[in-house]
């Protein structure tokens, strides 16, 4: 054992040498300078046509992969005896085919799960996993980017768009064998989601201004009617977020001051977790894994008469560290990995040649990284201003924000920090968002314009270091923070410091724990500038981000929870979003969204920087993988996947 | 010997008291609290946040019946509030809904104390630091260490899930480290400047000089490159389906790399100490006397020199128990070991106070236990101490 | 007590001289000492030795491999499209030993004694799938640029600095490469390569040394001061002072260091002065304070033990009898005898603080970028992807390794030479 370090050193030395390469050079030697000159010339010719605005997103048609066929005579294609007979009317009748047996394992970035309660779980880990256990009325097809029938086989909406009728499938059963009826649906909505004593975020989607919440009622055993008081553009999305829970289990837990439902379905009692999903949970070990087995009462059937899901076991492996997770996948530790870090791409690219997994290059992400300045004019509890008044004056000056936006070379960020694997962005929505992307005015890299704007603000004098001084002789300097856990963002703020120094603005960097950032954004508000990112929801509808965009929103970063809009443009933007949430016509909503993007682009309250490329990987042993840019990228069709080798 | 034990055990409670106070103070002094953000989270009502705060003794809830007695009236801005004898809230003499008054009464000051009224009308007093500690202590004495803020479960349950994984790794690493360090140290101490001594010395130097974090990472890459070891984790996914012997082997296989990484750094320290002690003992008068008596070299080495040389090592053993807990922190993180490190680092960073308090107390307890064990062992190996 | 001085003259050499002689005879310890001296001297003249400024970055030179060993050449390779299986050509970089890095041929291929380097060019190409992709850190082998020595810079920069605190400005650098007009790419010498942002690793290692090497020294000075004074006082006076002090020590020994450092580090970091966050120097000092705060207790305990035994020595008792004031006894009779222990244990403890900074950096709580420290430079190597792509990012780790090793060599040598126990024993017997 004591020789271990020597071994490791040797091994690492070998690794290093191997990585340096040592093979005989092959191929034609070329001069990189020539290649660069040629590329520059090409870029210059191309740039001549570009203007101030971005080109619109290419509207590539959605490609839907055809389903694989299997030999249905194979003994493994026969429906196992563990499935109980069910008669579902109408059945799902999916085109998918597969063979039974085996284990599929998912590498999930996470630590532990606080609860399996689909309503009160508040971390990403739990909410992605809830759909394994529970179904909602309406599903979502990540491949076609549209809603799909699930527990409700069809739905209708009245001409005034206020009354929705959902027709449930008959014969669907919960994993304890009880049948699902309209009562369960009404219970879920009226007694849990809309229960004020059950704090949850699913209810947010049903709120439109101060209008009362919709009323869900039972029409007959398999029909539910929802009556809204106002038109809600995102009603279907909101319904799709709600997992239906069995009334017979939880009927008595939703009353009182502190409903027991809030702590129901904790990890200590897995038996109690009953849903209509394709799987049921069998074991959970914090920090290690969550294990699922097929729901014996699963109601999902295929056109060829098979019952879903195919595997004997589905395991979600919890890994806390993203790098460890990548290494584990490459060491054949599990079958799916989503959200591969850009810095790990090369390793996956090289190993892909070994041929045992597919690396899915999903293109630009929907997630965006941005920089924002604090414009919060409020006071701290002790009466002092949250932001130093002279700095607040800069941050609230649109010229300053535009100047910083002009100073930031986003292409360089993409090149240096993402190694070119990403795209520069200038607005709220990345180009990958085929439905909602719209070009808007951009304040692209232009140090001359940036200097000019700062000069016009009267910040012309400079000190010995070349840093600008204001009229009172104070250095133009601000604190820029980001979360220390994210190595990429730490590099971003480092670069931003350099960009700002080039136009005479000093930046002090602070890498802090994420917890501090969230307490800063949510409560303390004494930060000066911050670099963070937004992750996109599914579906990527802008109204999913009401919290971010509305001036009263909790995550309206530069000045959250405004009692009334503190600037005219904020009022205008709020108005636009208000309009959007009450129009159901997609094309009209897109027009309004375009207006919103333009308003916010002109203000540069949030200076958008880049979207990385998304990569995910699956082992070849998994059948029916249909990767999608929307999360969960590789296993969103978890009910259709199967293990080719049956192991 | 039993007196020594009793004396040591008597010293434990005051020690824990001071440690818990110190930790509580450190957590209290640093700004921000876990709930600051929960207050803004729509999933948490203000009432719920205040109840959670009350659980850790940050605030005291005034019994509903005594509201009027404790806080007959108070004024916030232009508004004057009062509690009726029944405990209902009045604004300017009229009944009001505390929910609508939140903006005003969420936090106010009266007579130099901070107060809060929740949307349920419950009255809370913000307690001072000292009182807060006493409240925590009172609960802790009754073995109620509170609920982890982040997991919203009993702290002891949260720790209980993790503790065995950590202890297992510690104990194995400790066994490896001591099991190798003592014989190697003795050997090189008996024959200083021999080849083995030089090799051991070189390895000790090298292992002392590599940052542990980096060594862990190299070990992971090593596992990836060779495929000989699993990449992190404590058990394989099929663990439940294995037979009892295979289960043990499975965990053992997973444990090789992390325990080696932890062990390697500590081996060096103990080995060098052991060697030093042994060299000193071999050159001491009593060994010379024993030699002169004509005892065999082996007998002298083991019966005389070793028994004297090992005393400081026994003391070190006690310290090493707690030191290892610190040393395994980053290793656990990198190896995805489902132990205490993962939850405690995030607890410290997110100020999950009950969890931090509990884990600090636990490690202190471990250290004290280590010391007591060391004292006992010392008493066993050294008759002089036994007599004292 | 009188000694016949003439009888054995060599015995009259002071214990210090004896120790010095013993230390100088110890080759391993001397090696350690020399390495340390070299490291500290280079850290002090980092500004002169480094070919760049500590935050200079060139995007063209991102992820350049160490020129000391070679460089990448760009090659056009025939391959097949991974999906369509049609033949395509892609650009790949291939390693070339020595000739790709620092070499001794000018642009015409003639051998010269002056070292030359190629300019580094980053190119945007299309990969096998037709996706744009950057090939980084390739050299242009057609151009060789001479490395010049003692180049003068336009802007004055700090050339000498006492571990980052007191600087002297100058305009000279040891070496540099001048970019000819119209050059495509980046002209510069990167002996140890660059990081992903195109910052020269050698430069950052040199400037990082100012921080990493001083962290240990500062921490140890503080812990030594606290440990020795508290241990000394409690050991000498005994009684309730000793009781209280030792209980405090026990408390500190019972709390795991890392918790305490994380909590303290987080706490001290929040301090704001006049609404402004702490400058990088202050953050640095805060980290030092946090690490020192948890380290003093162990030392205090050992010093107390030593003082406890010294207190009963004849010469102390004699001094007490003569009515020498307590502070004089402590200062002149007792503490000097703990010095040898202090030196040895300090030397052996410095590495733990250097490694401590690395561990803090791993958690993102160490010295903040863009300031360089060995710990935060190594952070880049903690992403396995980066480590395998650009293995040279471990170079700071090599320096950490060297430093810690050297401290251990020297510390052990000092222990053998000074042998604190032997000193005390000698006093006891005399």
Rounded CA separation A34/A42 (Å): 12
**What's the maximum distance between 2 C-alpha atoms anywhere in chain B?**
103
Residue A218 binned pLDDT confidence (cut-offs 50, 70, 90):
very high
Give which of A122, A288, A291 to mutate to test B binding, by max B Cβ within 10 Å: A288
Those residues with Cβ within 8 angstroms of residue A448's Cβ, 6 or more apart along the chain or in another chain = none
Q: Crossing angle for the helix pair A586-603 and A568-581, nearest 10 degrees?
A: 160
Q: Which residue has the higher pLDDT, C4 or B38?
A: B38
- Which position has the higher pLDDT, C3 or B243? B243
CB A276 within 8 A of CB A175: yes
Structural domain includes residue B195: yes
**Per-residue confidence (pLDDT) for residue A563, from 0 to 100:** 82
The domain of B55 spans 35-141
Beta carbons of C251 and B329 less than 8 Å apart: no
In chain B, which residues have their Cβ closer than 8 Å to the Cβ of C267?
26, 29-30
Domain boundary (B108, B141, B174) is at B141
Q: C49: closest CA among C158, C195, C145?
A: C158
Can you list the positions of beta strands (E) in C131-226? 132-139, 145-161, 167-177
From A219, A208, A95, A86, select the one nearest A155 (Cα to Cα). Answer: A219
Neighbours of B, requiring at least 3 CB pairs below 8 Å, are A, C
Contact C209, C39 (CB under 8 A): yes
**Does the beta carbon of B250 lie under 8 angstroms from any beta carbon of chain A?**
no
Contact B36, A522 (CB under 8 A): yes
- Contact C388/A at CB under 8 A: yes
Contact A302, A96 (CB under 8 A): yes
Q: Domain end: B141, B166, B198, which one? A: B141
Q: Is B124 helix (H, G, I), strand (E, B) or coil?
A: strand
Q: Please tell me the distance in Å from C270's CA to the nearest CA on chain A.
A: 10
Tell me if C227 sits within 8 A of C305, measured CB to CB: no
Task: Give the percent of chain C with pLDDT over 70.
Answer: 88
Kindly tell me if the per-residue pLDDT of A503 is higher than 90.
yes
C-contacting residues in A 372-401 (Cβ below 8 Å)? 384, 388
Regarding whether B87 and B43 lie in a shared domain, the answer is yes
Are B210 and B321 in a shared domain?
A: yes
Residue B206 lies in a domain: yes
Q: Do B48 and A114 touch (CB under 8 A)?
A: no
Co-location of B373 and B269 in the same domain = yes
Rounded Cα distance, C25 and A560, in Å = 70
Least confident of A513-522, A551-560, A582-591: A513-522
Residue B359 and residue B340 in contact, taking contact as beta carbons nearer than 8 Å: yes
Asked, for residue B125, whether it belongs to a domain, the answer is: yes
CATH of the domain at B206: 1.10.3720.10
Residue B24 lies in a domain: no
CA distance A97 to chain B (A): 27
Same structural domain, B310 and B183: yes
Instruction: Give yes or no for A596 touching C (CB within 8 A).
Output: no
pLDDT tens-digit profile of C81-115? 777 778 888 888 888 888 888 999 888 888 989 99
Strands (E), A126-232: 138-141, 146-149, 152-157, 163-168, 215-220, 223-227
What pLDDT is recorded for position A626?
93
Q: What percentage of chain A has pLDDT greater than the value 70?
A: 93
pLDDT confidence bin for A608, thresholds 50/70/90: very high
- How many domains does chain B contain in total? 2
- Backbone Cα Rg of chain A: 27
pLDDT band at A2 (very low <50, low <70, confident <90, very high): very low
Q: Is the pLDDT of residue C375 over 70?
A: yes
Please indicate, yes or no, if residue B151 is contained in any of the structural domains: no
By CB atoms closer than 10 A (0-12, 13-18, 19+), residue C125 is: buried
pLDDT tens-digit series, residues A89-140: 899 888 899 999 999 999 988 877 778 888 877 666 677 788 899 999 999 9
Residue B225 sits in the same domain as residue B294: yes
Q: Which band of pLDDT confidence, cut at 50, 70 and 90, is reported for residue A354? A: confident
Region class of C109: left (phi > 0), else alpha (psi between -120 and 50), else beta: left
Q: Which of B245, B179, C367 is nearest to A490 (CA)?
A: C367
Q: Is residue B8 part of a domain?
A: no
The lowest-confidence range among A97-111, A384-398, A504-518, C143-157 is: A504-518
| pLDDT for the residue numbered B327 | 65
Cβ of C258 and B363 within 8 Å? no
Q: Residues of chain B whose C-beta is under 8 A from some C-beta in C? A: 14-15, 18-19, 22-23, 26-27, 29-32, 205-206, 208-214, 217, 220-221, 272, 280, 319, 322, 325-326, 329-330, 344-345, 348-349, 356, 359-360, 363-364, 367-368
- What distance in Å separates the CA atoms of residue C388 and residue C378, rounded to the nearest whole number? 13
Residues B251 and B186 placed together within one structural domain of the fold: yes
Helix, strand, coil: what percent of chain C each, to 5?
55, 20, 25
Give tens-digit pLDDT for B298-333: 777 777 778 777 777 777 777 676 666 666 778 888
How many contacts does A have with B, using Cβ atoms within 8 A?
148
- Please indicate, yes or no, whether residues B165 and B109 belong to a single structural domain of this protein: no
Among chain C residues, CA nearest to A475: C276
- Residue C196's Cα: distance from chain center in Å? 22
* pLDDT tens string B169-187: 888 888 888 888 888 888 8
Cβ atoms A286, B161 nearer than 8 A:
yes
Q: Over 90: is that where the pLDDT of A531 sits?
A: yes
Peptide bond into A153 cis (omega under 30): no
**First vs last Cα of chain C: how many Å apart?**
8
Q: What is the mean pLDDT of chain A?
A: 86
User: With an 8 Å Cβ cutoff, are A287 and B338 in contact?
Assistant: yes
Which of chain B's residues have a Cβ under 8 Å away from the Cβ of A515? 349-351
Which of B141, B174, B196 lies at the terminal end of a domain, its last residue?
B141
Q: Which residue has the higher pLDDT, A184 or A484?
A: A184
Stretch (H or E) spanning B149: none
Question: What is the tens place of the pLDDT at every residue in C32-64?
Answer: 999 999 999 999 988 899 999 888 888 788 889
Closest chain B residue to C356 measured between Cα atoms? B211
Of A36, A388, A491, the CB nearest to C121: A36
Q: Within this chain, do residues B249 and B301 fall inside the same structural domain, yes or no?
A: yes
Note the pLDDT of residue A520. 79
Encoding tokens for residue A461?
A: 């004098």
Q: Does C267 touch chain A (CB under 8 A)?
A: no
**What is the arithmetic mean of pLDDT over C295-323?**
82
Average pLDDT over residues A311-324: 89
Best CA proximity match to C287, nearest among C309, C307, C264 = C264
B108 found inside a domain? yes
pLDDT band at A15 (very low <50, low <70, confident <90, very high): very low
CA distance linking residue A162 with residue A231, whole number of Å:
6
- Over 70: is that where the pLDDT of A7 sits? no
ipTM: 0.75
Q: Percentage of residues in chain C with pLDDT exceeding 90?
A: 15
Bridge partners, residue A623, by sequence: A642
Q: Is A8 on the interface with B (CB under 8 A)?
A: yes
pLDDT confidence of A224, banded at 50, 70, 90? very high
Q: Are C298 and C231 in contact (CB under 8 A)?
A: no
Q: How far lies A338's CA from each of A143, A206, A341, A414, B285, in Å?
A: 16, 30, 9, 21, 69
Name which of A1, A513, A518 is nearest B263 (Cβ-Cβ): A1
Average confidence score pLDDT of chain C: 81
Distance from B89 to chain C by nearest Cα, in Å?
A: 39
Question: How do B79-83 and B94-95 pair as beta strands?
Answer: unpaired
Chain C CB contacts of B211 below 8 Å: 355, 358-359, 378, 397, 400
pLDDT at C206: 92
C312 has a chain A CB within 8 A of its CB: no
Asked if C258's CB is within 8 angstroms of B326's CB, the reply is yes
Specify whether B223 is located in the same domain as B372.
Answer: yes
Query: Once rounded to an integer, what is the mean pLDDT over residues A299-310?
Result: 91
Alpha-carbon distance A10 to A3, whole Å?
A: 11
Q: Are residues B287 and B174 in the same domain?
A: yes
Best CA proximity match to A477, nearest among A529, A406, A440, A532:
A529
* pTM of the full structure: 0.83
Residues B49 and B166 placed together within one structural domain of the fold:
no
Q: What's the CA gap between A140 and A486, in Å, rounded?
A: 31
Residue B376 lies in a domain: yes
Q: Does residue A195 carry a pLDDT above 60?
A: yes
Q: Same structural domain for residues B112 and B163?
A: no
| Contact between chains at A5 and B230 (C-beta distance less than 8 A) | no
Q: Is C180 on the interface with A (CB under 8 A)?
A: no
Supply the DSSP string of C286-347, one letter for each residue: HHHHHHHHHHHHHHHHHHHHHHHHHTTSHHHHHHHHTT--HHHIIIIIIHHHHHHHHHHHHH
């Amino acid at each position: 054992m004591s020789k271990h370090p020597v071994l490791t050193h040797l091994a690492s030395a070998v690794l290093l040498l191997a990585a340096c390469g040592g093979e005989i050079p092959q191929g034609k030697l070329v001069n990189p300078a020539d290649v660069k000159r040629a590329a520059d010339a090409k870029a210059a010719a191309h740039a001549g046509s570009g203007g101030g605005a971005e080109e619109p997103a290419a509207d590539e048609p959605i490609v839907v992969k055809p389903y694989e066929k299997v030999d249905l005579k194979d003994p493994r294609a026969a429906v196992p005896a563990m499935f109980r007979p069910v008669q579902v009317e109408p059945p799902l009748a999916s085109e998918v085919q597969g063979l039974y047996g085996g284990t599929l394992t998912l590498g999930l970035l996470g630590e532990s799960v606080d609860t399996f309660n689909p309503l009160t779980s508040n971390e990403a880990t739990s909410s992605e996993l809830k759909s394994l256990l529970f179904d909602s009325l309406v599903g979502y097809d990540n491949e076609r980017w549209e809603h799909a029938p699930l527990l409700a086989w069809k739905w209708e909406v009245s001409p005034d768009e206020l009354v929705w009728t959902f027709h449930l499938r008959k014969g669907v059963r919960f994993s304890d064998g009880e049948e699902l009826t309209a009562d369960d649906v009404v219970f879920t909505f009226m007694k849990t989601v809309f229960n004020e004593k059950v704090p949850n975020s699913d209810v947010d989607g049903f709120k439109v201004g101060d209008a009362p919440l919709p009323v869900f009622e039972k029409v007959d055993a398999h029909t539910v009617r929802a009556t809204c008081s106002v038109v809600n553009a995102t009603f279907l999305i909101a319904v799709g977020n709600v997992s239906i829970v069995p009334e017979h289990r939880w009927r008595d837990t939703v009353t009182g001051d502190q409903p027991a439902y809030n702590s129901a379905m904790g990890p200590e009692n897995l038996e109690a977790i009953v849903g209509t999903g394709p799987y049921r949970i069998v074991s959970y070990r914090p920090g290690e894994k969550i294990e699922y087995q097929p729901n014996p009462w699963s109601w999902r059937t295929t056109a060829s008469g098979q019952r879903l899901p195919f595997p004997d076991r589905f395991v979600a492996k919890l890994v806390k560290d993203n790098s460890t997770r990548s290494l584990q996948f490459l060491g054949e530790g599990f079958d799916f990995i989503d959200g591969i870090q850009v810095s790990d791409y090369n390793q996956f690219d090289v190993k892909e040649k070994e041929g045992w997994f597919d690396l899915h290059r999903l293109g630009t992400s929907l997630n965006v990284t941005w920089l924002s300045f604090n414009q919060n004019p409020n006071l701290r509890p002790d009466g002092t201003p949250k932001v130093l008044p002279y700095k607040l004056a800069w941050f609230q000056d649109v010229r300053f924000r535009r100047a910083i936006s002009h100073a930031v070379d986003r292409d360089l960020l993409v090149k240096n920090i993402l190694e070119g694997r990403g795209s520069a962005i200038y607005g709220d929505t990345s180009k990958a968002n085929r439905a909602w992307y719209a070009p808007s005015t951009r304040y692209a890299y232009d140090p001359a314009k940036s200097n000019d704007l700062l000069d016009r603000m009267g910040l012309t004098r400079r000190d010995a270091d070349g840093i600008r001084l204001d009229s009172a002789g104070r250095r133009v300097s601000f604190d820029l923070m980001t979360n220390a856990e994210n190595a990429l963002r730490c590099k971003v703020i480092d670069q931003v410091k350099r960009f700002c120094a080039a136009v005479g603005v000093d930046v002090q960097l602070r890498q802090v724990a994420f917890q501090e950032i969230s307490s800063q954004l949510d409560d303390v508000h004494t930060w000066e500038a911050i670099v963070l990112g937004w992750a996109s929801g599914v579906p990527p509808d802008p109204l999913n981000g009401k919290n971010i965009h509305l001036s009263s929103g909790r995550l309206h970063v530069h000045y959250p929870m405004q009692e009334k809009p503190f600037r005219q443009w904020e009022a205008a933007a709020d108005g636009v979003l208000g309009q959007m949430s009450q129009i159901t016509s997609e094309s009209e909503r897109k027009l309004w969204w375009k207006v919103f993007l333009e308003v916010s682009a002109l203000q540069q309250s949030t200076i958008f920087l880049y979207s990385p490329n998304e990569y995910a990987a699956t082992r070849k042993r998994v059948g029916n993988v249909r990767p999608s840019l929307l999360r969960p990228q590789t296993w969103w069709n978890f009910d259709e996947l199967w293990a080719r080798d049956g192991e | 010997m039993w007196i020594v034990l009793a004396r040591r055990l008597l010293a434990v409670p005051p020690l824990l008291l001071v440690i818990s106070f110190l930790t509580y103070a450190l957590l209290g002094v640093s700004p921000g609290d876990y709930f600051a953000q929960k207050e803004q989270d729509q999933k948490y009502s203000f009432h719920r946040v205040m109840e959670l705060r009350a659980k850790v003794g940050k605030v005291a809830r005034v019994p509903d019946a005594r509201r009027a007695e404790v806080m007959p009236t108070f004024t916030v801005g232009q508004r004057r509030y009062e509690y009726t004898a029944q405990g209902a809230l009045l604004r300017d003499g009229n009944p009001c809904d505390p929910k609508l008054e939140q903006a005003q009464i969420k936090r106010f000051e009266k007579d130099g104390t901070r107060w809060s009224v929740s949307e349920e009308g419950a009255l809370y007093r913000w307690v001072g630091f000292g009182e807060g500690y006493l409240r925590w202590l009172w609960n802790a004495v009754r073995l109620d260490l509170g609920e982890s803020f982040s997991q919203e479960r009993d702290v002891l349950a949260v720790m209980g899930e993790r503790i065995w994984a950590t202890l297992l790794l510690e104990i194995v690493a400790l066994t490896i480290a001591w099991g190798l360090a003592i014989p190697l140290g003795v050997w090189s101490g008996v024959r200083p400047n021999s080849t083995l001594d030089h090799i051991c010395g070189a390895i000790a130097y090298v292992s002392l000089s590599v940052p542990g974090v980096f060594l862990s990472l190299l070990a992971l890459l090593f596992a990836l490159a060779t495929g000989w070891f699993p990449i992190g984790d404590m058990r394989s996914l099929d663990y439940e389906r294995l037979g009892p012997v295979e289960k043990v082997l499975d965990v053992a296989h997973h444990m090789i790399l992390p325990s080696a990484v932890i062990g390697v750094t500590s081996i060096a320290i103990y080995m060098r100490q052991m060697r030093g002690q042994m060299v000193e003992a071999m050159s001491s008068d009593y060994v010379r006397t024993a030699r002169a008596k004509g005892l065999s070299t082996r007998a002298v080495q083991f019966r005389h020199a070793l028994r004297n040389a090992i005393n400081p090592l026994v003391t070190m053993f006690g310290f090493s128990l707690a030191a290892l807990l610190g040393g395994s922190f980053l290793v656990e993180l990198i190896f995805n070991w489902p132990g205490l490190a993962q939850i405690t680092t995030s607890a410290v960073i997110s100020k999950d106070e009950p969890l931090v308090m509990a884990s600090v107390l636990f490690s202190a307890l471990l250290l004290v236990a280590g010391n007591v064990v060391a004292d006992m062992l010392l008493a066993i190996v050294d008759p002089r101490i036994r007599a004292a | 007590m009188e000694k016949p001085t003439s009888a054995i003259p060599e015995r009259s050499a002071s214990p210090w001289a004896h120790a010095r002689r013993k230390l100088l005879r110890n080759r391993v310890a001397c090696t350690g000492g020399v390495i340390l001296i070299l490291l500290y001297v280079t850290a002090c003249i980092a500004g002169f030795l480094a070919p760049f400024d500590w935050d200079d970055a060139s995007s063209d030179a991102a992820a350049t491999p160490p020129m000391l060993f070679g460089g990448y050449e760009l090659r056009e390779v025939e391959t097949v499209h991974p999906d369509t299986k049609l033949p395509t050509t892609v650009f790949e970089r291939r390693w070339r030993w020595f000739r790709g890095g620092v070499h001794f041929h000018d642009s015409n291929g003639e051998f010269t004694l002056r070292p030359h380097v190629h300019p580094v060019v980053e190119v945007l190409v299309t990969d096998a799938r037709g996706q744009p992709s950057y090939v980084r850190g390739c050299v242009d082998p057609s151009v060789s640029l001479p490395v010049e020595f003692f180049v003068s810079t336009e802007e004055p920069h700090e050339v000498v600095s006492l571990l980052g605190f007191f600087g002297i400005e100058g305009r000279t650098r040891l070496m540099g490469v001048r970019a000819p007009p119209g050059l495509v790419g980046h002209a510069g010498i990167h002996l140890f390569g660059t990081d992903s942002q195109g910052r020269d690793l050698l430069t950052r290692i040199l400037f990082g040394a100012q921080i990493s090497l001083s962290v240990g020294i500062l921490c140890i000075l503080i812990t030594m001061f606290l440990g020795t004074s508290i241990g000394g006082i409690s050991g000498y006076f005994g009684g309730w002072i000793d009781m209280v002090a030792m209980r405090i020590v026990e408390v500190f020994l019972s709390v795991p260091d890392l918790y305490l450092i994380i909590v303290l580090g987080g706490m001290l970091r929040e301090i704001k002065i006049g609404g402004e966050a702490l400058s990088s120097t202050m953050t640095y000092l805060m980290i030092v304070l946090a690490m020192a705060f948890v380290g003093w207790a162990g030392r205090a305990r050992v010093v107390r033990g030593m003082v406890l035994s010294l207190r009963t020595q004849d010469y102390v008792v004699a001094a007490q009898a003569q009515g020498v004031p307590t502070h004089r006894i402590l200062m002149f009779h007792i503490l000097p005898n703990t010095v040898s222990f202090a030196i040895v244990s300090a030397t052996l403890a410095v590495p733990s603080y250097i490694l401590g900074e690395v561990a803090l950096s791993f958690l993102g709580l160490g010295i903040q970028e863009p300031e360089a420290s060995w710990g935060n430079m190594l952070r880049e190597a903690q992403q396995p992807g980066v480590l395998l792509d650009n293995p040279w990012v471990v170079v700071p780790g090599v320096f950490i390794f060297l430093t810690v090793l050297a401290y251990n060599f020297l510390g052990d040598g000092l222990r053998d030479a000074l042998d604190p126990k032997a000193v005390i024993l000698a006093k006891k017997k005399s």
